[in-house]
Amino acid sequence: MTVNEFRILLIDDDEDDFVNLRDLFEEIPRSKYKITWKSSYKEGLEALHKHVFDACLLDYRLGEHTGIDLLKEVQKLGLVCPIIFLTGHSDFDLDIQAMQVGASEYLIKGQLTAPLLERSVRYSMKHALDMEELKESKAQILQQDRLASLGLLASSLAHEIGTPLGIIRSRAELVERRTGTSEPTKQDMSTVITQIDRIAKLVNSLLHLAREKQSDMAAAVDLNSVIQDVLNLMQHEFDRKGVSLDVSIPEGTAVKAESGPLGQVFLNLFVNALHAVDEAKKQGREKDHKLILNVNNSGDSVEISVQDTGCGISEKNLSQLFKPFFTTKDIGLGTGLGLATSYKLVQSWNGTITVESKEGVGATFKIKLRKPNK
């Protein structure tokens, strides 16, 4: 016979209540409950922060605080755990208040039985699961709407920007070829042509973001060459902001991608790293900033980690980071498309990009790409 095991957190300042609830849980057949007891507001909130529980039983009286206070804090912090509210007596207004701030159930201690406790825990977990699935479904719909809007925007940009760019490029080529044009002018026109081509690639990168299929242009790309080209472009900015570089790339490392767009991915990461360092300096950490780039070339894939010592990313923003148009930068400093574009580009090469971060310490982005012919 299969025995279901559940982790339950009890936040209650009365040890007698803990003993009583533990005994009731032991009476429930076909299930095993591991009870973690915390006797104070602070310890309970800390436990919800650090550990994952299937459900939480929360008493109303918690010393100077109340269970309502803790429920509000849980909602504010975005902690996910079904919470069953416990009181010593029936109070309709308190019942309604508890429901309004996120409790999934309201129980009176003196009326508790093992079957009632089992049913409340089971229904609370099922309700929490349904709500999580609903949130994910809404998030997917919102993402699809954003991508649809972005696809329309990209198509419009490709037309509106592409036509004048083509005219400017042809005129620059004409000046470059014209007899009698000075060498400096020819060099300037060559630079103009190069930058026009770069803008065209950026528009194509935006079009990549609206893709929902794997790229058929991915091929073997020399990772060292791509990253060094971007670092050479950014070297002045790193020096100007006092950010040292620690780059380690095994010679001959190749990945399956597209050279130009892959360079754009790293350019986005480096620019964001410098912005994060600027924010860290505003917060008082002005020295010893660096960017560390490491490559793990083992197995069938290549993992590139890009670590900075910037301001870090808050927990609530981590889940939003790769969504189109999401940005924490001031108006005029960011569009919210850089990381979203990077995410879709890497995804189009059948790769992954993830992020780990701690506020006040920095962030680490990890890109995993397939090796050629894998």
Which phi and psi (to 5°) does residue 302 adopt?
-120, 125
Three-class SS of residue 305? strand
CB neighbour list of residue 155: distance below 8 Å, 6 or more residues apart: 207
Q: Look up residue 247 and give its two tokens.
A: 């780059």
List the chain pLDDT tens, one digit each, 374 residues.
456 889 999 999 999 999 999 999 999 988 899 999 999 999 999 999 888 899 999 999 898 899 999 989 888 887 778 999 999 888 888 888 888 888 888 899 989 999 999 999 998 888 878 877 666 666 666 555 555 555 556 666 666 677 788 888 888 888 888 867 788 888 888 888 888 887 776 666 556 555 555 556 788 999 999 999 889 888 989 999 999 999 999 988 999 998 888 988 999 899 999 999 999 999 999 888 999 999 998 888 999 999 999 999 888 788 777 776 656 655 445 555 678 878 888 988 999 999 999 888 999 999 999 998 76
Whether the CB-CB separation of 366 and 354 falls below 8 Å is answered with: yes
Identify the pLDDT of residue 96: 87
What residue has token string 């050279």?
259
Annotate 15-59 with three-state secondary structure. Answer: HHHHHHHHHHHHHCCCEEEEEEEECCHHHHHHHHHHCCCCEEEEE
Give the chain's count of helices (H) and strands (E). 10, 14
Q: Residue 107 and residue 103: Cα distance in Å, rounded?
A: 11
Please give the C-alpha separations between residue 153 and each of 145, 146, 150, 260, in angstroms, as whole numbers: 12, 10, 5, 22
Domains of the chain, each with CATH number or no CATH: 4-112 (3.40.50.2300), 136-209 (1.10.287), 219-370 (3.30.565.10)
Closest to 105 in 3D by CA, of 5, 119, 113, 72 = 119
Q: Look up residue 146 and give its two tokens.
A: 């954003």
Q: Residue 359 and residue 310: Cα distance in Å, rounded?
A: 9
CB neighbour list of residue 308: distance below 8 Å, 6 or more residues apart: 273, 276, 277, 289, 290, 291, 292, 362, 363, 364
Identify the pLDDT of residue 331: 47
Identify the pLDDT of residue 353: 92
Q: Residue 154 and residue 338: Cα distance in Å, rounded?
A: 14
Q: Look up residue 103 and give its two tokens.
A: 């409790």
Whether the CB-CB separation of 340 and 209 falls below 8 Å is answered with: yes
- Element containing residue 84 per DSSP (H, E): strand 83-87
Identify the pLDDT of residue 15: 92
What pairing do the DSSP bridges indicate for beta strands 219-222 and 254-257?
A: antiparallel
Is the dihedral angle over the CA atoms 323, 326, 329, 335 positive or is it negative? positive
Identify the pLDDT of residue 334: 52
Whether the CB-CB separation of 231 and 248 falls below 8 Å is answered with: no
Q: Residue 170 and residue 164: Cα distance in Å, rounded?
A: 10
